[in-house]
Structure 1
């Protein structure tokens, strides 16, 4: 769907007018198709911080060496793992105060710290928790397509951040900002991919709701990264399924995921390395006017089906060791939304599902996480009334809607075998909403 305002502000007159009128000035976001960033990265933090040596080596291996004198940089990366007191937070201020204007459009801000809950010292817990407010505020200040993230890293295995560094410093994370991600040591059996460009090579992936919209983009991105795809949707969407299977060289399954035998049917097509629960429906209506059928149908598709299918796969050996399950929640499940008590409840329930099943997936060397999209340009959002649609587009740090590929790239990062240290997490793909976190 075309964003006419974004095209307008890219013109000379539009840029002048929007600046004079105090209107949002979004920039065109660079995504994976733009290739790899060409500008260097600037690394900050104490040389004796717990993560410093590993971080410096990993950035160098990614061809993003430290560049202290470059006039413009792609990213500012600050190792805050050595900050042990409130007073020490001044180092964070000084680094970004000095260098933040050097970050180019579509640049990246990345802060790494230690999980506050693991700290035994009170001052360390306080200082490390303070990083969250700092990072989320920086993300809302900079605009120009610049994103900001905080990674809490378990010092027992700092190399576990590699896939997350690659994702958050690349253009694949264009619409993810203001996020806090905890990265623990991966299961001992986890084997990272040998080719970072195709980390999912040879993995068998199931994507539900794959015939159109976000699901279709997920299927295409996973296939591009090397998966053997099984695309699933309702029988009425078989034509779209057939097309996506042909385009990706995969298979398709026309199946109602709410059917009593859906789990048994899926087991015939497994086992799977990756399962993406994307299928979902809306039946929007204010609570007083909502029928029980409208409530129940949304719960059945959006929440009960992922719960029952995951359970069937776990009990029936339908998931391979080190499997990744990724669920699609929604910003509505975090903040709520007018006329969506059924939808918001189902998407909040997905968060509960992820947090509940995380220990069970970890026990087989796997992971389960969720993405929570905000305003994404799809056929569904194109039908929203103009005023509400424009508010959805502009009330985030990017001042624009995201694209289905933004959700898909985030899911591909979570599905990467090198990301198994990320488990039980909810990552918002919302351009960092300006209202709330």
Structure 2
């Protein structure tokens, strides 16, 4: 569905009128197109003194991607991105100089620019000063992201378990956040460990070439966008949905050159049937995206057993049952990405059943992650906020407009925004990202 207000205040006479009246003007977000440059301008890399070596390593990686890298702020540049590297900062006073250097160029940040922090996660045994410094970066980044304008976003890469700044998964995450693929990801801090295949080509347009992916709920909306994005990135896609959605399911499968599997994910044998189809038709199963989900919104005082039980059965219990089958099969290198929701993080009035199911998705993702890691795989979740779909188009106009304008980016996301995050988490280069929840919500003012 179309956000007509955002279109109106960015074109023609209504753009001029909006400026004169001082109306809010959500930016037109830059989304991925093959062949476009990674950033919208030069990238400034700044660091505290102790983190200079890490900043140098990141700068070298960016240069290898044909990015124009600068190390000193100047007044004559429209910056495409700013990287703040504070991996070795040990005391809160270490950050004043590099943070203020970032601040000095924010007015020169180009529309749809990026600000990234690269830091390390606090760990048990850190000194109080070190823990304060590392945790402080999180609060700084989330606040800075709310100050950015013109479609610019701020996100953070948080290294864990001694991960190097030039490790494949670190660089893959930096590249994702810098790129137009992260258009609706804002104010997020993603933890990255040291895992990841060496020699990975991070610049390829087909990072999923040779992979077989299953997407549930693929007949329309976000599910169809996921299937198309995975196929664009090279995967062979098995599209799964209920028999009642057969027409849309066939259309999606045909669009992506994949196969269709009519299946109710709540069936006891759903996992076995998915695995059998993928192996028999395509010879393998590498990626599973749990997208199928339903809503049955009611205030708890008005909710009947069927409204609670059906949501939990589709959104949560089905994922658990399918995952049990996949784990029992011992698949090597399996990447599972599950759809959570910001409602599962912050709650939402009238959605106690839905919020329970989506918080449960986050819980099982974190518990499944180490089980898959033992087999060289990962489990992660994506938590969408307000996404422009047929479902959200049925929300009353006033409520819909409020939901659109609450995020820092002041607009709803698109199904492709969710799909891009999933494609990144499903890629081999993201092997160091495990057990994480990535919000795709334009920095909606809920949760954390």
Same fold (TM over 0.5): yes
State whether structure 2 residue 290 is matched by structure 1 residue 277. yes
Residue 378 of structure 1 is matched in structure 2 by: 389
Range that drifts further, 299-308 or 154-163: 154-163
State whether structure 2 residue 368 is matched by structure 1 residue 357. yes
Do 1:208 and 1:277's aligned partners in 2 also have CA atoms closer than 8 Å? yes
Range that drifts further, 141-150 or 34-43: 34-43
Residue 281 of structure 2 is matched in structure 1 by: none
Do 1:376 and 1:402's aligned partners in 2 also have CA atoms closer than 8 Å? yes
Do 1:45 and 1:82's aligned partners in 2 also have CA atoms closer than 8 Å? no
TM-score scaled by structure 2? 0.93
Residue 221 of structure 1 is matched in structure 2 by: 229
Do 2:340 and 2:358's aligned partners in 1 also have CA atoms closer than 8 Å? yes
Deviation at 1:92?
3.5
State whether structure 2 residue 99 is matched by structure 1 residue 93. yes
Structure 2 residue runs of 5 or longer lacking an equivalent are 279-283
State whether structure 2 residue 418 is matched by structure 1 residue 407. yes
Deviation at 1:123?
1.2
State whether structure 2 residue 315 is matched by structure 1 residue 312. no
Deviation at 1:341?
0.7
Residue 255 of structure 2 is matched in structure 1 by: 247
How does 1:63-82 map onto structure 2 within 5 Å?
63-67=66-70, 68=72, 69=74, 71-82=77-88
Residue 64 of structure 2 is matched in structure 1 by: 61
Residue 184 of structure 1 is matched in structure 2 by: 193
Counterpart CA distance in 2 for 1:18 and 1:213 is 31
Counterpart CA distance in 2 for 1:87 and 1:2 is 47
Range that drifts further, 151-160 or 190-199: 190-199
Match of 1:157 among 142, 164, 169: 164
Deviation at 1:246?
1.1
Deviation at 1:348?
0.4
Deviation at 1:226?
0.2
Structural RMSD (CA): 1.8
Do 2:382 and 2:421's aligned partners in 1 also have CA atoms closer than 8 Å? yes
Counterpart CA distance in 2 for 1:72 and 1:118 is 41
Do 1:218 and 1:405's aligned partners in 2 also have CA atoms closer than 8 Å? yes
Do 1:191 and 1:417's aligned partners in 2 also have CA atoms closer than 8 Å? no
Residue 30 of structure 1 is matched in structure 2 by: 30
Do 1:112 and 1:150's aligned partners in 2 also have CA atoms closer than 8 Å? yes
SS at match of 1:32: coil
Instruction: Rate the CA distance shift 1:264–1:308 in 2: closer, same or farther, 3 A.
Output: same
Counterpart CA distance in 1 for 2:135 and 2:329 is 41
Deviation at 1:143?
2.1
Q: Kindly provide the CA deviation profile for residues 156-210 of structure 1, in whole angstroms up to 9, marking residues without a partner as x.
A: 43213111111100001000000011100116x6773576221100100000000
Deviation at 1:12?
5.0
SS at match of 1:272: coil
Deviation at 1:221?
0.2
Q: Kindly provide the CA deviation profile for residues 89-108 of structure 1, in whole angstroms up to 9, marking residues without a partner as x.
A: 21243212211112100000
Counterpart CA distance in 1 for 2:149 and 2:301 is 40
Do 1:46 and 1:52's aligned partners in 2 also have CA atoms closer than 8 Å? no
SS at match of 1:391: helix
Instruction: Rate the CA distance shift 1:194–1:347 in 2: closer, same or farther, 3 A.
Output: closer
SS at match of 2:338: strand
Do 1:231 and 1:245's aligned partners in 2 also have CA atoms closer than 8 Å? yes
Count, aligned residues: 434
Q: Kindly provide the CA deviation profile for residues 24-54 of structure 1, in whole angstroms up to 9, marking residues without a partner as x.
A: 2101001002722341111100465152232
Range that drifts further, 416-425 or 81-90: 81-90
Range that drifts further, 51-60 or 215-224: 51-60
State whether structure 2 residue 139 is matched by structure 1 residue 133. yes
Counterpart CA distance in 2 for 1:276 and 1:82 is 36
Match of 1:43 among 42, 45, 56: 45
Counterpart CA distance in 1 for 2:107 and 2:440 is 25
Counterpart CA distance in 1 for 2:23 and 2:343 is 26
Residue 305 of structure 2 is matched in structure 1 by: 292
Instruction: Rate the CA distance shift 1:219–1:345 in 2: closer, same or farther, 3 A.
Output: same
Deviation at 1:142?
1.1
Range that drifts further, 81-90 or 200-209: 81-90
TM-score scaled by structure 1? 0.95
Counterpart CA distance in 1 for 2:447 and 2:356 is 19
State whether structure 2 residue 90 is matched by structure 1 residue 84. yes
Counterpart CA distance in 2 for 1:123 and 1:194 is 36
SS at match of 2:383: strand
Structure 1 residue runs of 5 or longer lacking an equivalent are none
Counterpart CA distance in 2 for 1:195 and 1:226 is 14
